[in-house]
Every structure is written in structure tokens, then in C-alpha cells.
Structure 1
Amino acid sequence: MSGMTRWTLSGFGDEIDADPAVQVQVLLALGASHVEVRSAWGTNVVDMSDEDLARLAGLLDRHGVRVSAIASPIGKCQVYDDPAPELARLERVVAAAHRLEARYVRLFSFYRPDGVEAAAVRDTVLARLRAFADVAERESVVLVHENEKAIYGDTPSRVLDIVESVGSSALRVAWDNANFVQVGVRPFTDGYALLRPHIEYLQVKDARAADGVEVPAGHGDGELRETLRALRDDGWEGFASLEPHLADPARPDVLSGPRRFGEAARAFAGLTAELGVELA
């Protein structure tokens, strides 16, 4: 396997189970060396106490699992809300990133009121993200913007506007194929060349264009195979983090559950093996 392209496999642990002990057991069984931390024991990372973080750090250390990113909810709020509380929440998330030895922090670019055009909120979005980037630069972490549907940066052109206008090495792109599909974008065709210089982190998810429902990697309209092939050919290296959102009626308490999460991991492993990419 020497000479192959190698990406680092991670996954959103709380899609598997609320208990991080179960999260790491499943991830390790699937060949992942890292976990993306959004919540543990039912508590979002932004709300974890210092004691919770220490407990989580100890558990991960005992299992030899590292943290690829903090999957924060920062910026997943209304753009005209008071900015001070969200900035304070970012400071808390950055402290969690340091405690868990994570370089990356995921964030979003705000919802806007109904009936308000994206152009009308652009300046406010950019000002708030610039303030976030200032924190990241000071604290030596990298913010990765996820193209969540219905936020300002939900299309390739607006994601590009964000990273170029903020102009910070501490604000990069977390690429999500499924989210692009859900806003009517053909991810590879419409967005890859535009955003490739800024792609830092890969969130592995696929969806059908007809109804927006998430499906295993390569089974939807997310042009995932084309995206992965291009990343391989471009020499990209980094984290590929499983965020499948595959509902399991047997586990309505989590987004995927162990069985469906495993299905997602095997689908992605099949794609990467086909393309000559090793997951480690």
C-alpha cells in the first residue's frame, strides 16, 4: 500500500451514540483513528463544563483516539442576533479545542430572517466572521466553514465570497457534498474548481436531489466519486469525517446509530478503495 494517497478517517461520534465510550468503540472498529466532537453524554461541546471536557479527554486518551475537529454550533443562529453571546460561545469552543488538542473548529455563517435576501446580510455576515477569525488567529486554531443549507454560505459562490473577503488563513472550507445537493447545487460540477484552493476538511455525506434525503456515500447525487477522485489527483491530504445522517428507526435518539453509521463507513471505504485512497 506504500505510495498510495492517505487520508485520515474520523466521524461525528454523537451520530453513533450519546455515550462517547460507545462512539470510540464503533469508530475504532471501523478503522477510524479520530473522532469529531459535537456532543457527549447528551451535552453539546459548547455547554460542557471543564470537568466534562477533562473526563472526555481522559476517555479518548485511554482508547488512543484523537480529535479531528470540534463540531461547534457557532454561527448557526440568526445574523441579526446580538453578536456578543456568540463571540463568547466561540471562546468557550476554542477552549474546548485546546483541551481536546483539536486544531479545527467547525462553524457556520448565520441564518437570515424570512424574506431577506442573502445580499442584504452580506456585510453583517462578513463582519461577524472577521471577528471570529480574529479569535482563531489569536488562539492558533483553524475555523472550517460548513456549507449548511439556508445559511449565508450555502452555495459555492457565497462560500468563496466568505473566505476571500474575510481573508484569513484561520478561516477555511469544510466541504459537504450533501448540503450542496440540498440547495440545488451539483457539488463537483458547480463548486469544486471554485473552492478547491480553500478546502481544508471533508465531511462525508451524500443525498438525493429529488427529495434531499441523505444516503450512503456514492448512492446519491452528491458527485462524491468525482469529488474524491479530484481531491486525490490534486494531492489533497486531510481529514475525511463521516457525518452520514442515516436515520435508523431502531435508534431515533441519534442521527444514525451504530448500524447505519457502519453502513456509511463501509460505503465510503468502498469508494476510497476503488480510487486508491488509503484511510488511516
Structure 2
Amino acid sequence: MQLSVITDEISMDLGHALNVMKEYGCTGAEIRSLWGTNIGELSDQQIDEALSCLDKAGMEVCCLASPLYKCELDPTAGGDVGNTHQAGERTARQQMDLLKLLHKRANQFGTRNIRTFAYWRRGELTPNIEEAIADGMADAIKYAEDNGLMLLMENEHDCYLGTGAETARFLSRINSPALRACWDPGNGFAAGEQPYPEGYGAIRNFVEHVHVKDAELLASGKYRFIVCGEGEVDYKGHLAALKADGYQGYLSVETHYKPYGGTAEQGTRLSLQGLKKILSEL
């Protein structure tokens, strides 16, 4: 297993983020936003600057953490939305144009992995909704198949596929080599699932990429993200299972945690330390 970080969880300054990551032995970078700009809006000049930073650091890009299909399934629907990480709002009709741009960016960054979601959640995931998601994403999946891309479906509690079980059922239904899982145990926890062993048990055969964040449930019934290894996700058991299953991909830290009065960089450093401690004990 290799280590990565979604770089803006440290800093919008890519060069600084990469230097911090190297301190912890990271070999890959996951790109979401750079210099205050989302991957879907980066200019060619910013791409060139990013490639220069990556070359200087000797680090590869393991995934584009894009906002693909973080949009409304029903164009007449509306409501609160989750974090879009500097991404501009796009309709469902605009997602194919975004994917084609991301294809160009993936080629520039030397990766085939593009993170996707399954629309903002507006109510229960019914069979009809699941069918509508499959229909809505069909062209994107076909495009990925035809162009050698790997779409990585992230389970996201603000979207229709929030748990490992929901995501696994959908991936099994689609059954495409171009659609695999970006498994996020912390998001599964936030969606009400026990990430390990239940969530991972459901999704283990689809895991291509792993996001690492930990969380705890508060007395209010809400959750908060916390340092990896200090929350309620059984990362020791989970990482041992990944190792036993022969997982050789990336563990990409996306902590969403800031210590009280502190910074995102401090939170990510603490989570990298926590993750490395667990890995050292396996």
C-alpha cells in the first residue's frame, strides 16, 4: 500500500503540499484544487506549473479528485449541497463536457483515475432512483471504457451512494471495468454504516482506491471528523484486511480535520502520523 494526500488538505500551494507529503513518505498526489481553483477550472498555465512542481518533487498523480456528477439528478430539484471544493456549479447535462476536460487533464497528469459521485442525495435511494443514476451515467461510463479511463465512484454521504453496500450494489449492477470504487470508510460512517467489517465486506471486490478519514459520533447525533486512528472507524482492522486481500493501491488522506484553532496542514500531519502508526503495527 502506498501513501497519498489530497493536496489541498494541506495547502492550496502545491509545492508546499508536496514537500510536506514527502516528509511522510508519500509517493503519489491526489489533485482536487490548486491555488484556489478546482481541477475542473484549472488553466493550462496552472497545469504547467503543477507539472513542474510534481516533477521537482518526483511524485506521481494517483487520481484526479474531480466533482464529476456532484450535481442534481432531477433538474427541477434543489436544496442544500455538500462541499464542492471550489468547483463551479454544473448541471447533469454538463457532466459529459466536464468528463472530456478531465480526460485531457488526466492525460496531462499521467493518470487514468478520475473520481466521480452519484448526484446529490434528495431522499431515499429507491430502485427507480438507482435506475435513473445508471441511465444518467451511462454515456460517461461508455466514454471511460472507450478511452481507457477509470472512473472511481466515491461513496459520499451527501450523494445517493453513501455506503459501501449501496456503492457495491450499484457497481455490481453496472459491471463495467471502467467503473470501480474509491472507498471512503469515513464517509460510510457518516452515512450510518459500520465501515469495517460491514462496509468493506460489501465493497471489497470493487476497491481501486482508498480515502482515509476518521470520524466520531457526537451526543447530538451528528458526527465530526478527527485524527486518523482516534475515531470510531476501525482502521487497524480495516488496513489489516486490505493488506491480507493484497491491496497495493493508494491510501489517500482526506482528513477534513482541523485541530481547534489550528490549520488543515496541522490536521493532515496528525492524520498522516496516525495512519503511519497503524501501518507500522500491522
How far the C-alpha of 1:203 sits from its partner, in A, is 0.6
Match of 2:114 in 1: 105
- SS of the equivalent of 2:26 reads coil
Give the whole-Å Cα distance in 1 for the aligned partners of 2:7 and 2:121: 29
Match of 2:135 in 1: 127
The 5-angstrom pairing of residues 178-189 of structure 1 reads 178-189=186-197
Look up the equivalent residue of 2:171 and give its one-letter code.
V
Q: Could you say which structure has the greater relative contact order, defined with CA pairs below 8 angstroms and 6 or more residues apart?
A: 1
Match of 1:257 in 2: 264
How far the C-alpha of 1:243 sits from its partner, in A, is 0.6
The answer as to whether partners of 1:142 and 1:171 remain within 8 angstroms in 2 is yes
Look up the equivalent residue of 1:32 and give its one-letter code.
C
Match of 1:138 among 134, 140, 146: 146
Look up the equivalent residue of 1:231 and give its one-letter code.
L
Give the whole-Å Cα distance in 2 for the aligned partners of 1:194 and 1:248: 32
Give the whole-Å Cα distance in 2 for the aligned partners of 1:44 and 1:38: 6
How far the C-alpha of 1:248 sits from its partner, in A, is 4.1
Give the whole-Å Cα distance in 1 for the aligned partners of 2:167 and 2:152: 11
Deviation sequence 1:93-151 (CA, Å, 0-9, x none):
121111011121111001143x4654342111111222221121122121111111031
The 5-angstrom pairing of residues 152-167 of structure 1 reads 152-167=160-175
Match of 1:67 in 2: 61
Match of 2:47 in 1: 53
Q: Does 1:40 align with 2:34?
A: yes
Give the whole-Å Cα distance in 1 for the aligned partners of 2:15 and 2:241: 35
| Structure 2: stretches of 5+ with no match in the other structure | 76-90
Look up the equivalent residue of 1:94 and give its one-letter code.
H
Q: Does 1:216 align with 2:223?
A: no
Give the whole-Å Cα distance in 1 for the aligned partners of 2:69 and 2:92: 10
Match of 2:100 in 1: 91
State the superposition RMSD in angstroms.
1.6
Give the whole-Å Cα distance in 1 for the aligned partners of 2:233 and 2:129: 28
With over 3 angstroms needed to count, the CA separation of the structure-2 counterparts of 1:112 and 1:264, relative to structure 1, is closer
- SS of the equivalent of 1:192 reads helix
- SS of the equivalent of 1:208 reads strand
How far the C-alpha of 1:196 sits from its partner, in A, is 0.8
Q: Does 1:233 align with 2:244?
A: yes
TM-score (norm 1): 0.89
With over 3 angstroms needed to count, the CA separation of the structure-2 counterparts of 1:220 and 1:258, relative to structure 1, is same
| Structure 1: stretches of 5+ with no match in the other structure | 1-6, 276-280
- SS of the equivalent of 1:214 reads strand
- SS of the equivalent of 1:246 reads coil
Give the whole-Å Cα distance in 1 for the aligned partners of 2:121 and 2:266: 36
Deviation sequence 1:21-79 (CA, Å, 0-9, x none):
11111111121111100011100000112222122112211221110100001111111
The answer as to whether partners of 2:164 and 2:183 remain within 8 angstroms in 1 is no
Give the whole-Å Cα distance in 1 for the aligned partners of 2:97 and 2:261: 37
Match of 2:206 in 1: 198
Look up the equivalent residue of 1:102 and give its one-letter code.
T
- SS of the equivalent of 1:72 reads strand
Report the identity percentage.
27
Give the whole-Å Cα distance in 2 for the aligned partners of 1:131 and 1:88: 11
How far the C-alpha of 1:250 sits from its partner, in A, is 4.7
Give the whole-Å Cα distance in 2 for the aligned partners of 1:112 and 1:9: 30
- SS of the equivalent of 2:223 reads coil
Give the whole-Å Cα distance in 1 for the aligned partners of 2:185 and 2:270: 18
Give the whole-Å Cα distance in 2 for the aligned partners of 1:60 and 1:140: 23
How far the C-alpha of 1:249 sits from its partner, in A, is 5.0
Give the whole-Å Cα distance in 1 for the aligned partners of 2:23 and 2:207: 28
The answer as to whether partners of 1:118 and 1:152 remain within 8 angstroms in 2 is no
Deviation sequence 1:190-249 (CA, Å, 0-9, x none):
222221111111111111133311112221111221111111111111111011111245
Is 38-47 or 22-31 further displaced after alignment? 22-31
TM-score (norm 2): 0.89
